[in-house]
């Protein structure tokens, strides 16, 4: 393109210095001015396209740019016409000179036949023939025969030489002019191709695009815009008012929002600043469309995108963050927020009940029937709990087999105890899962907000204490938190710390109850009875600390300690004496008791 521009400007300069007519210099000036206007306008088009301002680029290309190009072509055609007219004038001049010379020759005949013959010969050879050849060449040039040979008479200093040099110059300028016209035609084709490329770019954009001028008239749109808003083909047209386009778009929005649709768009456009403004619409066909309003120097444009899939994924992610993926209930995080809301909305006169629910025998179902059945059971439990509560109550799964409910309505604690009884009854009813009849139960602990705590942590802690009290009392019923449970919990915590310390020290002793042979009356052995020497409570029987050890997972080290103590004592007894040791049933379920006994015998030195 730059080479073409340089060649064009060089040829213009040559035309300026070798003009044939008197009006040609002014014509050349106008061609050059239009050419410079064209180059400046084309540079602005390129700049606008680089900035992504497609609408202004298209308008500039179709307007000032093509106008400058057309003006240059018109002036160039006029120059060609003037040049041809000048050629005709020169041809006429040649004919006139020929006639003038011939007449002069005839008048000289009287001088003498010889002089006449010589004159005729000289005229024919040096005047008539060159003039005829020049005239013929000029006529052929005017018909477009650029490749003809001009008689080489430019060395002559007479009129013939002048005409010859003028003919040669004319042919050169005519060829250059036609080359310029050809270059302009090529440039026009390039501009038309650029315009077509611009239109194709807009048409093939994956996003919907509509551009409006400063009067709100539609200028450009593409097929994606029509597809997104389900606009019939050929319904849109240039200069269509934006109100009409917005009304067509609004028909896909919910009926109650249609009146505000155009107002929302107008409000966005009225906001100050040149930055883009965004809006998201949920359409009646369940699609989500984002719209970006972008001001332009002479109007605005709307870029639309169908973001339904993205919105669906985001909603799923948000739901997973706040809901249990297995049951669809609220999860622990969401339940925590619900408790905070309950504390704000409730008071001592109208408390909300926070209910913790534990499934009894759920682990046995998981272990015997497998996790798929266990998961199905949890889903059925969730369905039964939802069926039991009111619409505004909150049901959550906190994890594992732990569920929770926030009950808002009703006199408390009576309403919570009544709901707790119904929950236990429902959980105790058989569940049918994959051909299996599953029987479980449930335990419920209740705390009242804000009576039993003014923070979510305190309320949950007290509901958990109530649930623990239910389990300690045998499971399968519902209890409301009592402040005495706190004292009991503190006592259990102290007992736990002391129990752990006793396992690391010598805090346990064995008492032996003799086993007597009734036939002989002799002592045949003894039963080892474990006692804990508590630092403040004194001796404690197994009934007071073994359940706690089982709950804390300390029953195994405690059982091994008892075996070691019994084996060490047996080493001091007669060989015919036996010792029996009581072990927890959990040790038989979870551990290899036989190997534990063999290891204890080996450590003490007793034979198996």
**φ, ψ for residue 479, nearest 5 deg:** -135, 145
The percentage of the chain sitting over the pLDDT mark of 90, rounded to a whole number, equals 19
User: Tell me, what's the pLDDT at 376?
Assistant: 95
Tokens of 6: 């340089």
Reply yes or no on whether 401 is catalytic. yes
When pLDDT is cut at 50, 70 and 90, the band that residue 20 belongs to is very low
Tokens of 243: 């109100």
pLDDT digits (tens, 9 = 90+) for 74-110: 777 777 777 777 767 766 776 676 677 666 656 654 4
Contact, 441 vs 360, CB < 8 A? yes
pLDDT above 50 (res 264)? yes
Percent helix / strand / coil, the chain, rounded to 5? 60, 15, 25
When pLDDT is cut at 50, 70 and 90, the band that residue 461 belongs to is very high
Report, as an integer, the average pLDDT of 421-445: 94
pLDDT digits (tens, 9 = 90+) for 26-65: 777 777 787 777 777 767 766 776 676 666 766 776 777 7
pLDDT digits (tens, 9 = 90+) for 298-346: 888 888 999 888 888 777 777 667 789 899 999 998 999 999 999 998 8
Cα–Cα distance list, 154 to 125, 126, 164, 172, 397 (Å) = 16, 13, 5, 14, 109
| The domain made up of 493-604 is a member of CATH 3.40.30.10 | no
Q: What is the mean pLDDT of the chain?
A: 79
Residue from 242, 398, 229 nearest 330 by CA:
398
Q: Quick one: CA dihedral 459, 461, 464, 468, positive or negative? A: negative
First-to-last C-alpha distance (Å) of the chain? 104
Tokens of 451: 């009576």
pTM for this entry:
0.46
d(CA 493, CA 500): 11
Rounded to the nearest 10 degrees, what angle do helices 371-388 and 362-369 cross at?
Answer: 140
- Structure letter (DSSP) for residue 139: H
Sheet containing 394-399: order of strands: 394-399, 402-407, 352-360, 441-449, 478-480
pLDDT digits (tens, 9 = 90+) for 385-422: 999 999 899 999 999 999 999 999 789 899 999 999 99
pLDDT digits (tens, 9 = 90+) for 174-225: 666 666 666 666 666 666 656 555 555 566 677 888 889 988 899 888 888 8
Contact, 343 vs 451, CB < 8 A? no
Q: Which CATH superfamily is domain 208-311 in?
A: PAS domain (3.30.450.20)
Helix intervals (H) in 231-290 = 242-250, 258-270
Contact, 288 vs 282, CB < 8 A? yes
pLDDT above 60 (res 154)? no
d(CA 532, CA 551): 17
Pairing, β 431-433 against β 538-540: unpaired
Tokens of 75: 């002036």
User: Of the listed 213, 393, 401, 464, which one is catalytic?
Assistant: 401
- CATH architecture of the region 325-481: 2-Layer Sandwich (3.30)
pLDDT above 70 (res 348)? yes
């Amino acid at each position: 393109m730059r080479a073409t521009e340089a060649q064009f400007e060089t040829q213009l300069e040559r035309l300026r210095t070798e003009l044939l007519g008197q009006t040609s210099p002014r014509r050349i000036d106008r061609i050059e001015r239009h050419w410079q206007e064209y180059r400046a306008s084309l540079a602005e088009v390129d700049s606008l396209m680089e900035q992504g301002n497609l609408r202004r680029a298209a308008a500039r290309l179709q307007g000032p740019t093509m106008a400058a190009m057309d003006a240059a072509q018109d002036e160039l055609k006029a120059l060609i016409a003037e040049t041809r007219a000048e050629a005709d004038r020169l041809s006429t001049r040649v004919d006139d000179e020929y006639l003038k010379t011939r007449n002069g020759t005839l008048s000289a005949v009287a001088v003498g036949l010889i002089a006449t013959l010589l004159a005729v010969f000289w005229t024919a050879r040096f005047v008539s023939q060159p003039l005829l050849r020049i005239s013929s060449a000029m006529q052929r040039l005017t018909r477009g025969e650029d490749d003809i040979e001009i008689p080489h008479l430019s060395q002559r200093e007479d009129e013939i030489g002048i005409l010859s040099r003028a003919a040669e110059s004319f042919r050169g300028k005519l060829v250059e002019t036609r080359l310029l016209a050809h270059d302009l035609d090529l440039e026009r084709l390039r501009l038309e191709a650029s315009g077509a490329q611009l239109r194709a770019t807009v048409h093939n954009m994956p996003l919907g695009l509509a551009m409006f001028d400063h009067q709100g008239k539609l200028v450009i749109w593409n097929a994606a815009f029509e597809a997104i808003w389900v606009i019939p083909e050929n319904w849109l047209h240039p200069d269509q008012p934006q109100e009409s386009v917005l009304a067509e778009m609004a028909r896909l929005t919910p009926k109650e929002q249609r009146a505000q649709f155009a107002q929302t768009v107008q409000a966005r456009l009225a906001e100050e600043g040149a930055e883009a403004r965004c809006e998201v619409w949920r359409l009646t066909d369940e699609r989500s469309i984002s719209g970006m309003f972008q001001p332009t120097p002479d109007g605005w444009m709307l870029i639309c995108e169908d973001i339904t899939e993205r919105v669906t994924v985001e909603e799923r992610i948000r739901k997973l963050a706040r809901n249990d993926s297995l049951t669809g209930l609220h999860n622990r995080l969401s339940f925590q927020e619900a408790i905070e809301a309950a504390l704000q909305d409730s008071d001592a006169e109208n408390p909300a009940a926070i209910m913790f629910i534990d499934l009894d025998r759920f682990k046995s179902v998981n272990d015997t029937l497998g996790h798929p059945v266990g998961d199905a059971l949890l889903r059925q439990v969730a369905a039964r709990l939802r069926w039991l509560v009111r619409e505004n109550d909150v049901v959550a799964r906190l994890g594992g087999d732990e569920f929770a409910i926030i009950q808002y309505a009703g006199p408390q604690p009576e309403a919570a105890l009544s709901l707790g009884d119904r929950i236990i009854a429902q959980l105790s009813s058989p569940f049918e899962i994959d051909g299996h009849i599953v029987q479980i139960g449930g335990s419920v602990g209740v705390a009242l907000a804000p009576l039993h705590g003014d923070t979510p942590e305190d309320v949950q802690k007290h509901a958990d204490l109530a649930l623990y009290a239910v389990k300690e009392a045998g499971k399968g019923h519902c209890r409301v938190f009592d402040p005495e449970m706190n004292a009991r919990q503190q006592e259990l915590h102290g007992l736990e710390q002391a129990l752990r310390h006793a396992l690391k020290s010598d805090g346990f002793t064995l008492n032996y109850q003799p086993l007597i042979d009734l036939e002989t009356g002799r002592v045949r052995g003894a039963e080892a009875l474990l006692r804990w020497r508590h630092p403040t409570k004194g001796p404690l029987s197994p009934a007071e600390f073994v359940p706690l050890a089982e709950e804390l997972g300390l029953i195994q080290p405690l059982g091994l300690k008892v075996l070691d103590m019994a084996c060490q004592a047996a080493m001091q007894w007669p060989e015919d004496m036996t010792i029996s040791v009581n072990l927890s049933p959990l040790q038989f379920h979870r551990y290899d008791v036989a190997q534990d006994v063999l290891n204890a015998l080996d450590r003490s030195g007793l034979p198996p």
